[in-house]
Structure 1
Amino acid sequence: MTQLSDNSQYDSLLARIDAVATRGRVQAVQAVNRELLATYWQIGQHIVEFEQAGQQRADYGKALITQLARDLRLRHGKGFSRSNLIYMRQLYLQYPISQMPSDFLSWSHFVELLKIDDALERSFYEKQAIAERWSVAELKRQKSTSLFLRLASSRDKEGVLQLAAQGQIVANPQDLLREPYVFEFLKIPEPAHLSETDLETALCNHLQQFLLELGKGFTFVGRQYRITLNNHHYKVDLVFYHRILRCFVLVDLKLGEVQHHDIGQMNMYLGYFANEENIEGDNPPIGIIMSRGKDELLVEYAMYNMSSQVFVQKYQLYLPEREELRREFELTLRDVAR
């Protein structure tokens, strides 16, 4: 008798049932999450409406959340801590009925989002967390590295508003860029004595975090990618393929300031990939030189009349100065408002 597992019709049945079961589980989780968020939103609504009705004196109002937490924990368990009730209240205030919180994110995601005071910044992280399916840990990391401020500081006011409303949309090579890139996940102290090879090895050893820092759409191709021209061998530090832009992305790492010959070399790599590695449907490759420092004038002149897509971006091994980034961000909005 033929084994069922060797039967193509059985395999098809198994695949269909597996797909239905997987979809059902996902929908069940989303349904539970949706109900949980709706419940917490309504609890926040009751707290705010009670406060607004003036049913408590100012001194009693300070103790309201504490008393509610004590009583609700006795009835429903530890999910009703004082801090949770504060965030439920904020959930209602920050997400009015016309902008209900998305059930694609968990309550833990919203706790992290509600810690952000600026509405534009909070909206960006919410949209980006949904688009890139960030875990709570990934959301925390992107907040701590000030991703929104790094992206927003290089845009005009309209660009900032679009970033907050839609998240980061990758439609052209410039949309890939961040300044500075932050490699704090390597935990390399400052000052550090390391070689370019050491840095490259460390990034490859932490590839998941590195891809998160690069952004959506990157797939790793290889390191020390060898190309040969007239019996001379060259190696590109890191090669990626971008699924959305449908192109190779070449990355060279520099410990100090980028030099003019670094730009020329990257341009040569791009020419090679365009002619030797691209296949039908691929777009022109992109080159990113990541350096600790950048002389803007040198970069401008070194790329004079250069038509290929070479970008020089700074990186740092520690978290950026958030206040400095925020000042740049606020200046962008203020200058345009004048």
Structure 2
Amino acid sequence: MSNLQPNDLFQNISALLDNARKKMVVAVNQTMVITYFEIGRMIVEDEQKGENRAEYGKALLKDLSAHLTEKFGKGFSYSNLKQIRQFFLIYSKGQTPSVLFAIQQSPAANFNLSWSHYLKLMRIKDINERKFYEIESFKNNWSLRELQRQYDSALYARLSLSKNKEEIIQLSEKGQIVEKPKDLIKDPYVLEFLGLSEKPNYSENELETELIDKLEHFLLELGTGFTFVARQKRITFDEKHFKIDLVFYNRILKCFVLIDLKIGELKHQDLGQMQMYVNFYDREVKLNDENKTIGIILCQDKSEALVRYTLPEDNEHVFASKYLTILPSKEDFINILNSDNGKIS
């Protein structure tokens, strides 16, 4: 006789059905993408038969659109067929014959996102940047909206800033690999999701409250492997009390990550205080099998020289990063990332 209670049975069946539906959605999306890739290949190969390929191709797509729409309904307009054709050209471009053959023989191993994701990715001209966002979308199960947000906030550029040529190539081949504390750090952090741009003044407490209220967005901006632990975490020694604004744990590095929020310009006292917090956690909180604590100070402005001369030369665990409360224009973002203030300390 089963020991399952009625409610347990309902929960187990619900979980099974939810999982089955998710798999069905993934299978449908993948089948659609694979089919579009194959349609694109057929169109390109047929176009190559025409003498005036541009004119022949245009006429071909219009004629094909009319016939496919008549038989299969929506989804095969002239513009959609152009996108399908472009999809094949982009994802077959630069591939060796053996790799292209492998894609055509087993496209399911290469296309893991929805068609909507690929429509966005196709608009990214830099192949390394496009591959990075494709890998990260799959690894982190980003929705189209999340992909768009990460692209708009120049995630690839921010992660590339402090890397050499080989490390940037690795980003496009493997995505973001977190092996050491510095791999987690971004500078700047983009917090446009807080909606603070309309406020001329706000306090550190307001900033903290907004981050907690929009924790899901903040975790996405922080990156891979973060879980929330505490807000205003109090630590006490020598009858003195201190409060750490935000405490997280990173499952990949197996360490605590402490975050302090500062309105205005960073001061050397702020760095000293964070170093104290990190030392306390290392000596009193972390377990023997956990790694050293990381401290991040988020500030509106900072002096690179002040950070450099306040922290030890071999510092690997305390960082200061600027934050932006609005998404800058593309030109402003480039200037921020290329400026001295845009480099990780």
- TM-score using structure 1 length: 0.86
Do the aligned partners of residues 70 and 188 (structure 1) sit closer, same or farther apart at CA in structure 2, a change above 3 Å counting? farther
Deviation at 1:71, TM superposition (A): 3.4
**Quick one: percent identity of the two aligned structures?**
45
Which residue is 2:311 aligned to? 303
Deviation at 1:327, TM superposition (A): 7.8
Query: Does the CA contact (< 8 Å) of 1:291 and 1:312 recur in 2?
Result: yes
Indicate yes or no: 2:262 matched with 1:258: no
- The letter of the residue matching 1:267 is Q
Do the aligned partners of residues 263 and 114 (structure 1) sit closer, same or farther apart at CA in structure 2, a change above 3 Å counting? same
- Please, which moves more after superposition, 213-222 or 307-316? 307-316
Q: Matches of residues 184-263 of structure 1 in structure 2 within 5 Å? A: 184-189=192-197, 192-263=200-271
SS of alignment partner, residue 79 of structure 1: coil
1:78 to 51, 66, 74: 74
RMSD (CA atoms): 2.9
Deviation at 1:28, TM superposition (A): 3.9
Structure 2, unpaired ranges of 5+: 93-99, 339-345
Indicate yes or no: 2:163 matched with 1:155: yes
Q: Matches of residues 48-87 of structure 1 in structure 2 within 5 Å? A: 48-54=44-50, 58-87=54-83
Which residue is 2:343 aligned to? none
Which residue is 2:4 aligned to? 5
Which residue is 1:336 aligned to? none
Query: Does the CA contact (< 8 Å) of 1:180 and 1:315 recur in 2?
Result: yes
Do the aligned partners of residues 166 and 320 (structure 1) sit closer, same or farther apart at CA in structure 2, a change above 3 Å counting? farther
Indicate yes or no: 2:93 matched with 1:93: no
SS of alignment partner, residue 5 of structure 1: coil
Do the aligned partners of residues 228 and 143 (structure 1) sit closer, same or farther apart at CA in structure 2, a change above 3 Å counting? same
Deviation at 1:241, TM superposition (A): 0.5
- The letter of the residue matching 2:214 is H
Question: How far apart, in 1, do the equivalents of 2:275 and 2:294 lie?
Answer: 9
Indicate yes or no: 2:169 matched with 1:173: no
Do the aligned partners of residues 328 and 296 (structure 1) sit closer, same or farther apart at CA in structure 2, a change above 3 Å counting? closer
Question: How far apart, in 2, do the equivalents of 1:31 and 1:226 lie?
Answer: 48
Question: How far apart, in 2, do the equivalents of 1:234 and 1:254 lie?
Answer: 15
Deviation at 1:74, TM superposition (A): 2.2
Question: How far apart, in 2, do the equivalents of 1:189 and 1:67 lie?
Answer: 50
Deviation at 1:81, TM superposition (A): 3.0
Which residue is 2:32 aligned to? 36
Deviation at 1:211, TM superposition (A): 0.5
Deviation at 1:314, TM superposition (A): 1.0
- The letter of the residue matching 1:253 is L
Question: How far apart, in 2, do the equivalents of 1:53 and 1:174 lie?
Answer: 53
Deviation at 1:43, TM superposition (A): 1.0
- The letter of the residue matching 2:168 is V
Deviation at 1:68, TM superposition (A): 3.3
Do the aligned partners of residues 237 and 83 (structure 1) sit closer, same or farther apart at CA in structure 2, a change above 3 Å counting? farther
Do the aligned partners of residues 69 and 187 (structure 1) sit closer, same or farther apart at CA in structure 2, a change above 3 Å counting? farther
Do the aligned partners of residues 65 and 253 (structure 1) sit closer, same or farther apart at CA in structure 2, a change above 3 Å counting? farther
Deviation at 1:23, TM superposition (A): 6.0
Question: How far apart, in 2, do the equivalents of 1:19 and 1:206 lie?
Answer: 27
Question: How far apart, in 2, do the equivalents of 1:48 and 1:327 lie?
Answer: 40
SS of alignment partner, residue 142 of structure 2: coil
- TM-score using structure 2 length: 0.85
Which residue is 2:132 aligned to? 124
Aligned length: 326
Question: How far apart, in 2, do the equivalents of 1:84 and 1:209 lie?
Answer: 32
Deviation at 1:232, TM superposition (A): 1.1
Question: How far apart, in 2, do the equivalents of 1:28 and 1:63 lie?
Answer: 36
Question: How far apart, in 2, do the equivalents of 1:230 and 1:119 lie?
Answer: 56
